[in-house]
Structure formats: C-alpha cells, structure tokens
Structure 1
C-alpha cells in the first residue's frame, strides 16, 4: 500500500459514515442522517429544564377583552410563593417609572425535571391600543427581562395575526425555524394561534418537550398574545388497556396557560373566546368533543358565542378537522354537531391541525365561507388521502408552514408560507358579513404543489412522509 493510503482510506470511510449514517439511513432524497434525531435535543439525564429560581416559560394569553387586559403564566422552582408581575406603560427611557405590581396565584407542580411552582396573573384595567412593558418575578432576587406587548385596539383597527398548525415533534431542532420565519413576515402581529398538539408527550420526557416548545415560542410570546388549543397529544390515556380507559387532560395544560375561563360546559379548561379589533375568536376542543361526549355542549355554546358577537369577522379554531385530509380519518361527530353552527353563522375561517398536511376547502356547495384550513408547522408529516386531493385546493405534503392573516375593514387576507418564507396559498375574503363574503384567489407568486415523493419513512411506515 502506498505511503499515506491507509490514512486516505480511513478519511474516506469516516466521510462516508458522516454522509450516509448507519446502514439503512438513506431515503429517496439522499442522506437521511437527520431523521435519526431524537424528539428533543436534551441528552438523557441532563437537567436542562429543571425548575430554577429564575422565571421561565413566560406566556401572555388573551383575556376575554384583550383591549383591557391579558393573563400571564410562568414557572420557577418550588418554594417561590406569590411572586409579582410588574407593569408599566412602555416609554423611550430606561427609567420606566413606578410600576404597577400584581401578585400571582401560585401552584406546586412536580414533573420529570423536579418540583416547581407555576404562577399566573390576570392583568386588568388597561388602556386599549397601548404598549405595555412587563416583567415577572422569580426567587432569590430574580426577575425576567422586560417584555413588551400592545393591548388590542378598538373596532375599525386593522389586525394581523399568526396561525400555526401542530408543532408537536422535534420542536427545538425543526419547529424553531417556522416561528422565527413567521416573525419576519408578520412584524405587526398582535396574536399567535397554535392549533393544538404543541408537544407529543407520553414519552417520559413531557417536561423537556414543554421546555423546548416554550423556548421556540419565546420570540413570539415576547411580543404578542398567545392563544393555544388542546390537541389529542395534550391529553393522555388513564387506565390504558382496561375497561376504565379514558382520556384525561394532561397536567401541563392548566399550568402552562392562563386562559379566559369562559368556555363550554364540560370543557371549561380548554375552550374559550375573546374579541380583538374587528374579529371574534372562538377556541374549541375537538378531543373533548370526540372522546369525552362534549360535542353537543360545545355546539350549543358556540352557537351562543357567535350569535351574540358584535364583531364583523369570526375565526373558529379546533384541532381535529371537519374534513380530514389524511387517509382513514373521519371526524363525523364534529360535522354533525359543529358544522351546522359554523355554516349558520357564516364563520369566516376555521383553522385546524391534527393531520400534518396542508389542505383548504370551501364551505358547502362552494360557498366562500367558511374556509376550512388544515396546516402543520412541525416535523411530523403525513400523506394526503385521494379524497383530499379531489376536494381540497391547494394541498401539500412534506412541508412545514405558517400562516399570516390580516383583517382590515371589509377585507381578510390570508397567506400560507413555507418555513423558508415561500408563498404557498393566498386568498382574500371581501365584503359585508350580512350581505355575504366573496373570495378572491391570489395565485401570483405561489410555488408549485409539494408532494412527498418517498414510499416510506426510515422506520418503514408507508402512511407518512416524516416521523
């Protein structure tokens, strides 16, 4: 063997391993080593997300009237009792002035990462369309950085908001790109709506998953209100594989988010509504409707919330779709109970998740409203059914997306963009609610339809594109 050949062969072997990964770690698009990533980036046994004296997981969510208030939740180590939130009208000087102080309600909460305390504050009595700075207290002298958010404005003021489908899997490694790109395209957004399955759960590291979700959401949550939905992965199976098996809301949900508390009977912790500018937003719980028998109660509640709305636009969000774009799924119970209410009140947008694809479908008989949309932000990607390809347009597989919605007077403009910011879908709803909306499709600049192009995942599953 010539001098140096052994080293060259060794280098070639190392490069080959790096490029191809272990045996079988290839896919239709070439090297697939990135698919071997675990669901979280936290090494086994690492205490990265152990509760500490400093406050983390800070999320501000809407009050029923976000023009006059909002609610904040955060976490610390155990033993931090009734910490404070400080609030000031934001100014141009670091001399913020004398802050208003509001004491938190604190609850002990133990997780895989140790015992902690969750804190929640309801802030009220604020001025509309006003920029406030706030910070929250931890233990041992800790305070969070100051954050800023603007209260909702009066009716007649334009509103921009973000909508994300399921984040769920590999939040830190892949979901982070989606949220950061969304901020580039919606610099004036006042609200971020997450359509459920924020985390996957059930893998023994739920708290790590919630920690990573909080990390990727932090840039969004630092500047706007966050409106979360429960998905089926926010629930877990109690008494699994026994006659007593039932769905139970996971313990993180009521601690992670402080919500308006005006929900449907039987689903008070996971349904709510609020008004912002010219729109009424209504959040439903599809898992509770399908598995816990609350479909009829939610439909009756929804009917009342929409009937009494003084706002020109209505946005309804639910995790499970009315029309499922994934093969083998059919949420008939939702269509029986909820769809008649959505149609009767001419809801403008129904924003959904769950099926890890993209698809849009018009109302009955091609009506402009409601527009039913399913989207996905995270790394898990399913395949479309043939029915979805026949009845929805546009559709997409193998694509992480975010949505920007802007409501201004008699026009709602919707855009779906890929994680790299490319335009995938766009339309406007135009006209008076009482007379009826018309839809204008915006096709200029849209990229071509995206399909998976592979026959199976690395694990051999043929019902999805990415694990």
Structure 2
C-alpha cells in the first residue's frame, strides 16, 4: 500500500549535523571563463583556515600521467564565517593560454591536493561548440537538482560552458552554507571542468533589517568569494554583472535584483549598451534572473523593460536566458522578428503556475517540469533545445544568421512531447499558487 506523501526538507542535512564543515581538503572547485575565454580561465575553491596562500598548478593536458612540470600560481584568499565555521575561499586567474587547448589543473589544500581536473579554452570564433543553460536550481539541490545535472552532462558530453540564471540556492534560512555545499555536490559533474557563468538571483541576496523602515537588499556573503568571475561589471554593480566572449558569442550577465530593488537599472543599461555596441561576434546572449516578460501571475518587471529592454532590442541580442518564475515559457519580440528570443526555465523542485497572459503570449509553456537546455552554435546556425529531467525534448528551435537580413527563427517540432501542466490543486503545504514546493 503506497505511503502518504510527506514534505521533503530543503537540505538532506539533519538538524544538528555539521555535514559541510570546511577542512584541509580542497572542495567546491569551480572554473569560470576569463573575459576572453580563449585565453584564460579562473578557478575558485574552499578549504579551512589552515590554508592561507595555496597554489593552483596547471599544465597542458597530455596522455601520459607525466604531463611535465606544471606552472604554479598563488591564490588570493578571503575568509568567510558561516554556520559551518570559518572557511578560506581561494581564487586564481590563469591567463596567457592558447585557444582550443585542453588544460589540466589542480588546487592545493593543507598538505594535500584536489584531483587533476581538465578544462578546455574556447576556440576561435566560428568553431562549433555546445553549452548548457539552467534556470533556478534553488532548493532541494542534493535531492532533485542532482539528477538534472547528470542528465544534462549525458546529453551534452562535449559542453564547454554552463550558464545559470540565478537563485542557485534558497538562502535566508540559517543554512546558507549547507545549501551551497549541496549545490556544489549536485553540480560536481559540471563545475570543475565546464566553465561556469552564473547570474545572481534575488535569493543570492537577503533582507537586512527585515520588516523595518531600514529594510534593504544586501548581497549574500557567499557570492563575492564563491565564484571567480570576470571583473568588468557595471559601475556600482561590479560584483554581480560581467561579460565575456566565448567562441563567437558575447555573453552579458546582468543583475535583475539590483536593477529592480536597488536603483541600478539605468547604470546597468548604460553598461550593457557599451558591452553590446563593442561586440565583434556574430552572436550575443544576455543572462538575467528576473524575466522581461514574466510567465507567473502577479509579476511584472517594469524597470527591466523600461531601461534594459531597449538596449537588447537595439543591438538585436539573440537569446535572453532567464529564471525566477519556476515555469517554462518562450516568446519572441513584439514585432514578430526572429530575435531576441526570451526563455524562462527551471531546474529545481519548486514549481509555480502559469499566468493566463503567459498561456496566451508564450509558446511553448510548461508547469511541473524540471528542465535543462542545450545550446549548440555552429557558424551561422544556433540550435536551442529544452529537455526534461528524463531527457525528453520539450522545446527546440534554430536561429539562422542571414547577414544583413538578421536572424531567422525555425521551429523544430518533431520529437517534442506535449506541453505539461500541473494536475494538482495544491501543494503539500496547501498552497494553490504553486504546483510543488
């Protein structure tokens, strides 16, 4: 006889258990692209406080276990106090590399090292490659995000880049470090070897002085030290905005939370104007957490459309990759042109319901579905696929670069499953505005 459903906790760490205390062993290793991803990458990792100035060693990867004498770079180190104790977070930027080259690297701990990881620099523009895009992971990462990451790696075994649209963890519950520990466990198949570029979400912030007149959004303390991102962001938003070039694609990451809640929309728009105006590449993408067109009832991010959308339209950005609304939805520009294409997706367990407007203006849409996206760029052709946690094709299209004629969008229908909608009246907590917690 089936047992009654029970609400699963956000983390798999039992109360009172210190699962993610830092140690002398290097962990939470994540590689990210340099501004020019064909010439460099950066790595962040964590240890305990016994490790003060560790090094990263790197070498051109070879077939023999003897890959030669490695280069050594000393890390910059920052302390972070969490519920799991004080940790040291380390960062190394590796530059002066060759394009389309496989490098091996390892990072140091206390009298020990990480495994040797391998990461490939971007090739010259025009060479084909594939990348991954993920919506919110956010909650129950160890339990339910893990399977999506492994399915994504199976479907895109040669992916070189992974983009995350914010809300990587839920935060704000006194278990931030446990949540980040589980996020790194869930993404371990990707983070050390596929260049990782996350956008910040509202859950990467917290409410300081909550429920008082002084209430304000403050960036969480993990974000500035947890990832080694390019330092080229918008004035006043340097920690959470950045851009980089990857094999014929310019990727710009903006901070929707800061734009909406901290008054930086105009500053980010000016910065984005410069980033896109100087783009020498054939393709461009913008990654942001909050959608320009929200598929969830009751959300309307007016400031994004007022200040940043005109810049995106002016420079004919190809893809705008978003999260936040825990559903799936895709729409094109209001004028019916091929680009920009706006997508909203979700990886994690929390699932919302679609608005009537989204059902009328987006196609396809979806509820109650964990998803990942595979994007393949090959010269003048870009293919986008959204797949479910079990690997089934949910959405697909291609963009064809026709030169001065702009980009043409072609729908790919064969193989897609039907749109999915929530069949439950309420969640286990009794919430009718969500499909799953």
TM-score normalised according to structure 2 size: 0.99
Check if 1:76 corresponds to 2:59.
no
In the TM superposition, what whole-angstrom CA distance separates every residue of 1:323-370 from its partner, at most 9, and x where no partner exists?
000000000110000111111111000000000000000012221100
Given candidates 345, 349, 369, the residue that maps to 2:319 is: 349
Given candidates 388, 401, 418, the residue that maps to 2:388 is: 418
Given candidates 308, 317, 327, the residue that maps to 2:297 is: 327
**What CA distance in whole angstroms lies between the structure 1 residues aligned with 2:268 and 2:184?**
29
Cross-structure match for 1:47: 18
Q: 1:223 Cα shift?
A: 2.0
Check if 1:451 corresponds to 2:434.
no
**Regions of 4+ moved over 6 Å:** none
Q: 1:432 Cα shift?
A: 3.2
Cross-structure match for 2:3: 20
Q: SS at 1:366's partner residue? A: coil
Q: 1:20 Cα shift?
A: 2.4
Cross-structure match for 2:104: 133
On the 8 A contact 2:244/2:252 being kept in 1, the answer is yes
Show the 5 A alignment for 1:295-310.
295-310=265-280
Cross-structure match for 1:315: 285
Larger Rg: 1
**What CA distance in whole angstroms lies between the structure 1 residues aligned with 2:403 and 2:208?**
44
Q: 1:79 Cα shift?
A: 2.6
Cross-structure match for 2:34: 63
Alpha-carbon RMSD across the aligned residues, in angstroms, is 0.8
Cross-structure match for 2:432: 462
On the 8 A contact 2:145/2:186 being kept in 1, the answer is yes
Q: SS at 2:189's partner residue? A: helix
Given candidates 197, 203, 213, the residue that maps to 1:227 is: 197
On the 8 A contact 1:312/1:433 being kept in 2, the answer is no
In the TM superposition, what whole-angstrom CA distance separates every residue of 1:420-466 from its partner, at most 9, and x where no partner exists?
00000000000235321111000000001100011111111010100
On the 8 A contact 1:314/1:348 being kept in 2, the answer is yes
**What CA distance in whole angstroms lies between the structure 2 residues aligned with 1:346 and 1:378?**
30
**What CA distance in whole angstroms lies between the structure 2 residues aligned with 1:207 and 1:315?**
31
In the TM superposition, what whole-angstrom CA distance separates every residue of 1:193-250 from its partner, at most 9, and x where no partner exists?
0100000001111100000001111111132100011000000011111111110000
Q: 1:38 Cα shift?
A: 0.5
In the TM superposition, what whole-angstrom CA distance separates every residue of 1:89-113 from its partner, at most 9, and x where no partner exists?
0000111210000000011111000
* 1:62/1:433 CA distance change after superposition, 3 Å: farther
Cross-structure match for 1:111: 82
Q: 1:73 Cα shift?
A: 0.5
On the 8 A contact 1:130/1:150 being kept in 2, the answer is yes
**What CA distance in whole angstroms lies between the structure 2 residues aligned with 1:45 and 1:59?**
28
**What CA distance in whole angstroms lies between the structure 2 residues aligned with 1:453 and 1:162?**
29
On the 8 A contact 1:259/1:272 being kept in 2, the answer is yes
Given candidates 140, 151, 161, the residue that maps to 2:131 is: 161
In the TM superposition, what whole-angstrom CA distance separates every residue of 1:401-422 from its partner, at most 9, and x where no partner exists?
0000011111100000000000
Cross-structure match for 1:12: none
Cross-structure match for 2:216: 246
Cross-structure match for 2:175: 205
**What CA distance in whole angstroms lies between the structure 2 residues aligned with 1:265 and 1:343?**
22
How many corresponding residue pairs? 437
Cross-structure match for 1:28: none
Q: SS at 2:178's partner residue? A: helix
**What CA distance in whole angstroms lies between the structure 1 residues aligned with 2:361 and 2:173?**
36
**What CA distance in whole angstroms lies between the structure 2 residues aligned with 1:390 and 1:345?**
27
Given candidates 70, 80, 88, the residue that maps to 1:99 is: 70
Cross-structure match for 2:332: 362
Q: SS at 1:280's partner residue? A: strand
Q: SS at 1:200's partner residue? A: coil
Q: SS at 1:458's partner residue? A: coil
Cross-structure match for 2:362: 392
Cross-structure match for 2:371: 401
On the 8 A contact 1:313/1:433 being kept in 2, the answer is no
Cross-structure match for 1:5: none
On the 8 A contact 1:403/1:415 being kept in 2, the answer is yes
Q: SS at 2:270's partner residue? A: helix
On the 8 A contact 2:31/2:193 being kept in 1, the answer is no
Gapped regions of structure 2 (runs ≥ 5): none
**What CA distance in whole angstroms lies between the structure 2 residues aligned with 1:249 and 1:185?**
34
